[in-house]
């Protein structure tokens, strides 16, 4: 069964550094998403991406965050200048408008 | 009032029991309802996907949606130790491009003992 894959599984970064999280969505999906889950808290929506542009974003997704689909297969989340409170699990998901979203296993981001 | 409320548990049951997991929500615009299972250090895995009110069955799992009460349930029959995980309810408003975001409950941790 096709699946969403995310790399790396764990990323450790110094505060203030830039980080890029990578995702390969399911190949025939047109909608792409990033969510995050701070330890012990609920999964929270960050951003959705469709037709090469952001279609929806949350208040968490401020100017420090950006997303890109640099080629036909990858979908990336960049955090420009990381803060301690960015430490969380980041999940990529993909789907189509009439189908549920399928999630990857996440990248655990640790900011030191 | 939180948009989606879910009892965090843990809910402990013996093997073979029927498990009932529930969520309530406040936004009447939600139309699509999902249940995901999450094992430790893994991503949410889709279990059930339903639209509007009614029941849907898939093997040992049954999802119920009552939009008039803003209440959704997941039933697991003949529970197994391998069902031990955190169960997340999630919902969204629409199929339209700008309303695709999922809103999650906190998740209920289920422990099934042999």
Closest chain A CA to residue B5: A42
B101 and A45: CB-CB below 8 Å?
A: yes
- Domain of B26, in residue numbers: 4-96
Q: Which domains does chain A have, with CATH numbers?
A: 5-111 (2.60.40.10)
pLDDT of residue A44: 97
Q: Are the Cβ atoms of A33 and B101 closer than 8 angstroms? A: yes
Task: Indicate whether B103 belongs to any domain.
Answer: no
Q: Token pair for residue A61?
A: 């997704």
Lowest mean pLDDT among A12-21, A27-36, B49-58, B96-105: B96-105
Q: In this structure, is residue B101 part of a structural domain?
A: no
Contact B87, B21 (CB under 8 A): yes
Q: Is residue B105 part of a domain?
A: no
Instruction: Provide the CATH number for the domain around residue B71.
Output: 2.60.40.10
Single out the residue of B35, B24, B22 nearest to residue B1, CA to CA: B24
Structural domain total, chain B:
1
- Is the residue at B22 inside a domain? yes
Query: Residue B53: is its pLDDT beyond 90?
Result: no
Does a structural domain hold residue B71?
Answer: yes
**DSSP SS3 for A31:** strand
Put simply, whether A35 touches B (Cβ < 8 Å) is: yes
pLDDT tens digits, one per residue of B66-110: 999 999 999 999 999 999 999 999 999 877 766 789 999 999 999
């Amino acid at each position: 069964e096709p699946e969403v894959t995310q790399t790396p599984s764990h990323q450790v970064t110094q505060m203030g550094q830039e980080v890029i999280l990578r995702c390969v969505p399911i190949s025939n999906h047109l909608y792409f998403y990033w969510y995050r889950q701070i330890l012990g808290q609920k999964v929270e929506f960050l951003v959705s991406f469709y037709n090469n542009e952001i279609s929806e974003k949350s208040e968490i997704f401020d100017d420090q965050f950006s997303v890109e689909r640099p080629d036909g297969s990858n979908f990336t989340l960049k955090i420009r200048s990381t803060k301690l409170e960015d430490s969380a699990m980041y999940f990529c998901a993909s789907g189509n408008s009439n189908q549920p979203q399928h999630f990857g296993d996440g990248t655990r981001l640790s900011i030191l | 009032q939180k948009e989606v409320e879910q009892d965090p548990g843990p809910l402990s049951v013996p093997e073979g029991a029927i498990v009932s997991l529930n969520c309530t929500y406040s936004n009447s615009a939600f139309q699509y309802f999902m249940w995901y299972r999450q094992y430790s250090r893994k991503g949410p895995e889709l279990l059930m996907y339903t639209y509007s009110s009614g029941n849907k069955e898939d093997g040992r799992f049954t999802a119920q949606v009552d939009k008039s009460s803003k209440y959704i349930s997941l039933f697991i029959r003949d529970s197994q130790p391998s069902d031990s995980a955190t169960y997340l309810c999630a919902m969204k408003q629409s199929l339209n491009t700008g309303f695709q975001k999922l809103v999650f409950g906190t998740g209920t941790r289920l422990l099934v003992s042999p």
